[in-house]
Amino acid sequence: MSKRDYYEVLGVSKNASEADLKKAYRRLAMKYHPDRNAGDKSAQAEKNFKQIKEAYEILADAQKRAAYDQFGHAGVDPSMGAGAGMGRGGASFSDIFGDVFGDIFSGGRAGGGARVNRGADLRYNLRLSLEDAVAGTTVKIRIPSYVECKPCAGSGARKGTRPEACSTCGGHGQVRMQQGFFSVQQTCPRCQGRGTIIRDPCPSCRGKGRVQEQKTLSVKVPPGVDTGDRIRLAGEGESGDRGGPPGDLYVQIEVEEHSIFSREDNNLFCEVPIGVATAALGGEMEVPTLDGKVILKIPTGTQTGKMFRMRGKGVKPVRGGPIGDLICRVFVETPVNLTQQQRDLLIQFEESLVAGGKRHTPHSTSWLNGVKKFFEGMGF
């Protein structure tokens, strides 16, 4: 009975990489392993599992794979079938699943050895004014953090002593358990994966190898940052457990609301009030920007909602690109607290507009015409 093509068994192409082979093998081996198919009376799952294991053992070995690609099954030593061991370039079943379960039980560590825990990442919320966020700044922050204990140099053992190798795991931090076809690595229950036992703890850190301190850091904020941006300070998080590498510090930016400007992407917006006379006759007025004052020219007959764009007066993007604009939206401010004389003048002015015809109020005239047509259509 002819054997199935090994590539077909694993469900991969002939140019599959070593990583592709390993991934396919893991997935299929977990699916068809006899321990996971105890109710399979036909033993088909076990047969499939043996085929998968045989295919991977051949294809994972570079020399055997080359011979198989050239000569097919005839080019592979039949003694290296489903029940045989691996060649020099291959990987055994326990090696493959040692990686899987090692990742689960040992905090992402591959292979054996005592566990070294990376320090925790920290987060600091930094509030900035809009001016500082746009221009960039340097600020000093103080954060609580765990740092390496100096008396014991992070070992956790009293000065003059040192941690002893764990007798349960032999200093590896892991113990291996054999369950049928599986060889599972898990964290040593005695030393909790550290590989060492401290007989005489350091009094400063009580055997932890770390102490909590306040530290001051200088954070350089680049121009153009906005709420939600993060600045990563590598290695400024908590120190690792028992000499492990430190984590990182992430500075989370929050820009405070501004009394004049609002920001949208790289553009700034502001509301500019103008008087009735300026709106009708036109004129000039000073408008603030983050760089100083500029003159805004108001054309004759300006209406509320008119937008004026000032090029290059916005925000320089933090990741590069053209500088945004400042967009000023004007609104006509209605006079309040009028004197009787002012009221009389406005009445005279309004009467003069009515006498002058529709040309003075084109928007209200067109709106009134539209309302008239609407009512006529409704039969009123």
Res 174: pLDDT: 83
Rounded distance between C-alpha atoms, residue 242 and residue 357, angstroms: 89
Antiparallel, parallel or unpaired: β 326-332 and 267-274: parallel
* pTM for this entry: 0.54
For 87-139, the pLDDT digits (tens) are 434 444 444 444 433 333 334 343 444 455 788 888 999 999 999 999 999 99
By residue count, the chain amounts to 380
Q: What is the 3-state secondary structure (H, E, C) of 37-60?
A: CCCCCCCHHHHHHHHHHHHHHHHC
Residue 295, helix vs strand vs coil: strand
User: Which range is least confidently modeled, 148-157, 184-193, 332-341, 345-354?
Assistant: 184-193
> For residue 218, what pLDDT is reported?
93
Q: What is the CATH number of domain 261-332?
A: 2.60.260.20
Per-residue pLDDT of 199-237, as tens digits, reads 889 988 888 887 888 888 999 999 999 999 999 999 888
Q: Exposed, middle or buried by CB within 10 Å (0-12, 13-18, 19+), for 74? A: exposed
Domain regions of the chain by residue span? 6-91, 122-255, 261-332, 340-377
Fold category of 6-91 in CATH: Helix Hairpins (1.10.287)
DSSP reduced 3-state for 180: coil
pLDDT recorded at residue 259: 92
Tens of pLDDT, residues 16-37: 888 888 888 888 888 887 777 7
Q: Residue 80 to residues 8, 76, 87, 90: CA-CA distances in angstroms? A: 19, 8, 8, 11
CATH superfamily label, 122-255? Heat shock protein DnaJ, cysteine-rich domain (2.10.230.10)
Looking at every residue in the chain, the average pLDDT score rounds to 80
